[in-house]
């Protein structure tokens, strides 16, 4: 508990919001068990008082009568509440049974997004998975940021060496397929994006946005250009071609420790600018101008997110973005893209995991692992496809934690069916939802305000170096377990049954203390900040550690301390891209893209009245001319079809949309039977991922291509 001030039993707590990557500092006032108010913490050095409407919903999550508080076991007639010891024993028995009969790979796991917002899961879930010796691991990474991690590993030598746009000092911010005005930023922890952008504009800088939808971020940009979904690589190739052709490169510093730029330049300059322009839909003159402006700016950052990470040419596009930052001299430069220096350093540390790629492949389709995980687009087929021989196995059991893959992974309807055939499924989750309804056992951990918090991951991506530890607001209710305690309890039981020895392992807060002490600002390194957990406890608003600083080549994780600018896989992919280059098919079929809203968070925050009230916002958005072409009217119910499925949804005319592109948010589709989500069910919407296609991938990484999915839209008879 961190009672900073006492006022007739009213206590004020400071803590990080764990809901999205902006990690805003909150000031929460409580009286006993009652939450009186949630506000932005003005003294937080990173978020400076900023919050969004979702923060208030932390109260709703805490109080939600639908939130599970006791283990639930499936019975023939429904669910029964059972005690924790019985639940953990039952889970261990069933997992060991499957492992003995079919081997470790028969037990798969899926870790969802809130895992990275819950540091105890980060420290302790991997330990359970190690005990299970399974190579069929999946996570939300492969419907999200996989290309960034793969490129960071290839180019800079470590999957977490992801360069971050230094927006606070930049003069030119080029944004492809990101909507921080709704998302509050991603792989860019940037609370208060709006004011940071205003400051950039006030210092004479500008933001240019490429997006097939005139998004909330495009609205506040200095320039917005429509781009055909999935064709950003052509736009980026155009920029790089101009930079190389007009000799606008600035390689005086980075050139000294970069390899492969010549090979990239040769391949890129061979393209024809007019062909590239026609392909992406951005005029050649505009590409030329943006290239010159970008190269001339005193600190420019190119940044691409979900719209380019989760598309057919995701890794290629993200590579070209890295390359532009490098060849214009903007990597590792103030105002360009820089590496954060985290107080608990996950890169330069004895437990660092740089990554590995393709060490094994998925059984059915041969998709490559990255850093020990397989692309989740393969999960359903790995369950449904029987083994070809006696020495192989399909997935027979699944552990999900903090994930809802039925709504969040491609062809969710197929996965929905696959899950119902598992021998055993265990879900660690706060809710009985579209995914966990298939579990044989649901183990609900404590909710956010009942445990302490440290952002192990998001300081890696933050636009400024800070550190902050949050105490639990409320004591853990009697007879409940934190996520990490569930993993520990289960791991110990599994190990005992398998006769495996288990080393003692520190608790999450002890790991943080060690990480802080031995980290770059740590007491052990004699840094003036002398960080320890105790020091953070004494500074609940967080501690400012300064702007990002140049750190290359020392920080590079390749042994030779050089940047590998042109991973060979990308030259091959560039050829593939070139082969399909041609005029895009405007109009038919339509291309489906996603959409985020400030008051939503992936699939799981639709059960709170204050976030779902107001006008419906789950419609399919479509340009009026595309509606007219099909004889459809605004507000009509339409059938959207893709290769894998169909949904029926209301269509809304919107000139925000590029012609030929339709948009549907993901994470909805709460009308499936057997969930316990009263409010979400009443605001069901349809699931975008009943349309996305498990075969439509970024070929390099196996990441799902969730944007640019071919669909048709028709009136319903
Ligand atoms: N309110 C809210 N905030 C969130 C979340 C949420 O669900 N709700 N989710 C959180 C998570 S897990 C993440 S990963 C982040 C994501 O953060 P962002 O990536 O910033 O969020 P998106 O809204 O997915 O932005 C993708 C943009 O790409 C555009 N786009 C689609 N296809 C293409 C294309 O082919 N090319 C280009 N150039 N653009 C394209 C879309 O129109 C959209 O504007 O948000 C986080 N924050
Ligand atoms: N079409 C399309 N699909 C997408 C996206 C898209 O843009 N378009 N975005 C993708 C992205 S970026 C992401 S990150 C994924 C997210 O996909 P997932 O991670 O699979 O799904 P979430 O909706 O984040 O589900 C989170 C689950 O965690 C539970 N939960 C919340 N907090 C905790 C906790 O502390 N502990 C435990 N044990 N459980 C908790 C919630 O109840 C919920 O069931 O979706 C992806 N899917
Ligand atoms: S922007 Fe994200 S971190 Fe900040 S208050 Fe909203 S949900 Fe929480
Ligand atoms: Mo995400």
486-539 confidence digits (pLDDT tens): 999 999 999 999 999 999 999 999 999 999 999 999 999 999 999 999 999 999
* Per-residue pLDDT, 489: 98
* Per-residue pLDDT, 140: 98
> Which residues line ion ligand 4, judged by CB < 5 Å?
144
For residue range 222-235, list pLDDT tens digits in order.
999 999 999 999 99
Q: Which of 178, 654, 665 to mutate to test the pocket of ligand 1 (most atoms within 8 A of CB)?
A: 178
Answer yes or no: is pLDDT of 291 > 90: yes
Average pLDDT over residues 549-559: 98
Structural domain boundaries in the chain: 3-63, 165-176+197-335+567-575, 584-715
CATH class of 584-715: mainly beta
Distance in Å, CA 482 to ligand 2 centroid? 19
- Report the alpha-carbon distance of residue 451 to residue 436 in Å, rounded: 23
Opening angle at CA 229, ends 139 and 690, nearest 5: 50
For residue range 97-130, list pLDDT tens digits in order.
999 999 999 999 999 999 999 999 999 999 999 9
For a pLDDT cut of 70, what percent of the chain falls above it? 98
Tell the CATH topology of 165-176+197-335+567-575: Dimethylsulfoxide Reductase; domain 2 (3.40.228)
Atom of ligand 1 nearest to the CA of 228: 35
Question: Which residues lie closer than 8 Å to 615 by C-beta, 6 or more apart?
Answer: none
Distance in Å, CA 125 to ligand 3 centroid? 25
pLDDT band at 588 (very low <50, low <70, confident <90, very high): low
Q: What ligand has the least distance to the C-alpha of 52? A: 3
Q: What ligand has the least distance to the C-alpha of 706? A: 2
Average pLDDT over residues 151-157: 98
The pLDDT mean for the chain works out to 97
Q: Does residue 621 sit in helix, strand or coil?
A: strand
* Per-residue pLDDT, 585: 64
For residue range 255-274, list pLDDT tens digits in order.
999 999 999 999 999 999 99
Q: Strand pairing of 590-593 and 709-715? A: antiparallel
How many Cβ atoms sit within 10 Å of the Cβ of residue 238?
28
CATH number (3.40.50.40, 1.10.3720.10, 2.20.25.90, 3.10.180.10) of 3-63 reads 2.20.25.90
Distance in Å, CA 181 to ligand 1 centroid? 10
Answer yes or no: is pLDDT of 345 > 80: yes
Answer yes or no: is pLDDT of 1 > 70: no
- Cβ < 6 A, ligand 2 pocket: 112-114, 118, 140, 143-144, 306, 401-405, 408, 428-431, 433, 445, 483, 594, 602-604, 666-667, 688-689, 692, 706
Question: What is the secondary structure of 167-197 as a DSSP string?
Answer: TTT-SEEEEES--HHHH--SSSB-SSHHHHH
- Report the alpha-carbon distance of residue 406 to residue 677 in Å, rounded: 15
Average pLDDT over residues 127-140: 96
- Report the alpha-carbon distance of residue 701 to residue 717 in Å, rounded: 40
Does pTM top 0.85 for this prediction?
yes
């Amino acid at each position: 508990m961190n009672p900073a001030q006492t006022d007739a039993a009213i206590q004020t707590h400071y803590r990080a919001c764990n809901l999205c990557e902006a990690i805003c500092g909150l000031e929460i006032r409580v009286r006993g068990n009652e939450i009186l108010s949630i506000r932005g913490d003005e003294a937080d050095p990173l978020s400076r008082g900023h919050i969004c409407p979702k923060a208030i919903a932390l109260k709703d999550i805490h109080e939600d009568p639908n939130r599970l508080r006791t283990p639930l076991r499936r019975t023939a007639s429904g669910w029964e509440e059972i005690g924790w010891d019985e639940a953990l024993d039952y889970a261990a028995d069933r997992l060991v049974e499957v492992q003995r009969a079919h081997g470790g790979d028969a037990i798969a796991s899926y870790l969802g997004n809130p895992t990275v917002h819950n540091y105890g899961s980060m420290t302790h879930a991997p330990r359970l998975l190690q005990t299970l010796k399974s190579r069929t691991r999946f996570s939300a990474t492969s419907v999200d940021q996989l290309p960034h991690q793969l490129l960071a590993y290839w180019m800079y030598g470590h999957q977490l060496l992801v360069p971050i746009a230094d927006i606070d000092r930049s003069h030119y911010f080029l944004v492809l397929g990101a909507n921080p005005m709704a998302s509050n930023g991603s792989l860019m922890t940037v609370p208060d994006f709006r004011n940071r952008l205003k400051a950039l504009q006030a210092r004479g800088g500008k933001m240019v946005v490429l997006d097939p939808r005139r998004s909330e971020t495009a609205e506040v940009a200095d320039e917005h250009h429509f781009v055909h979904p999935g064709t950003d690589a052509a736009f980026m190739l155009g920029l790089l071609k101009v930079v190389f052709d007009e000799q606008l490169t600035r390689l005086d510093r980075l050139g000294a420790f970069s390899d492969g730029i010549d090979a990239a330049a040769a391949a890129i300059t061979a393209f024809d600018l007019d062909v590239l322009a026609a392909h992406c839909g951005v005029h050649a003159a505009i590409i030329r101008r943006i290239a010159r402006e970008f190269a001339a700016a005193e600190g420019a950052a190119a940044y691409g997110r979900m719209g380019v990470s989760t598309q057919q040419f995701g890794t290629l596009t993200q590579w070209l973005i890295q390359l532009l930052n490098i060849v214009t001299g903007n990597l590792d430069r103030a105002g360009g893209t820089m590496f954060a220096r985290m107080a608990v350093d996950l890169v330069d540390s004895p437990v660092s995991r740089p990554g590995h790629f393709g060490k094994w492949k998925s059984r059915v389709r041969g998709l490559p692992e990255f850093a020990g995980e397989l692309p989740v687009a393969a999960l359903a087929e790995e369950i449904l496809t029987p083994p070809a021989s006696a020495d192989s196995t399909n997935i027979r059991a699944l552990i999900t934690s903090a994930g809802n893959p039925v709504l969040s992974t491609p062809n969710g309807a197929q996965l929905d069916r696959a899950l119902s055939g598992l021998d055993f499924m265990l879900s660690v989750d706060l809710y009985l939802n579209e995914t966990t309804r298939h579990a044989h056992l649901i183990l609900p951990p404590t909710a956010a305000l009942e445990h302490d918090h440290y952002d192990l991951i998001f300081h890696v991506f933050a636009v400024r170096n800070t550190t902050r530890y949050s105490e639990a607001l409320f004591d853990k209710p009697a007879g409940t377990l934190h996520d990490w305690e569930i993993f520990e309890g289960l791991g110990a039981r599994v190990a005992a049954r398998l006769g495996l020895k288990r080393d003692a392992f520190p608790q999450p807060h002890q790991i943080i203390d060690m990480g802080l002490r031995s980290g770059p600002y740590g007491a052990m390194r004699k840094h003036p900040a002398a960080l320890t957990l105790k020091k953070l406890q004494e500074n609940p608003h967080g501690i400012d550690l300064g702007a990002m600083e140049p750190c290359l080549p020392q920080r590079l994780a390749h042994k030779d301390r050089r940047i590998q600018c042109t991973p060979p896989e990308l030259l091959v992919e560039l050829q593939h891209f070139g082969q399909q280059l041609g005029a895009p098919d405007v109009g038919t079929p339509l291309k489906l893209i996603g959409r985020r809203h400030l008051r939503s968070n992936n699939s799981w925050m639709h059960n709170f009245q204050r976030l779902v009230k107001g006008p419906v916002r789950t419609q399919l958005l479509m340009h009026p001319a595309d509606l007219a072409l099909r004889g459809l009217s605004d507000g009509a119910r339409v059938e959207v079809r893709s290769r894998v499925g169909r949904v029926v949804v209301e269509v809304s005319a919107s000139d925000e949309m590029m012609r030929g592109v339709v948009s549907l948010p993901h994470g909805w589709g709460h009308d499936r039977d057997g969930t316990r989500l009263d409010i979400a069910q009443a605001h069901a919407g349809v699931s975008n991922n009943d349309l996305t296609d498990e075969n439509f991938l970024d070929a390099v990484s196996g990441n799902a291509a969730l944007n640019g999915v071919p669909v048709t839209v028709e009136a319903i008879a």
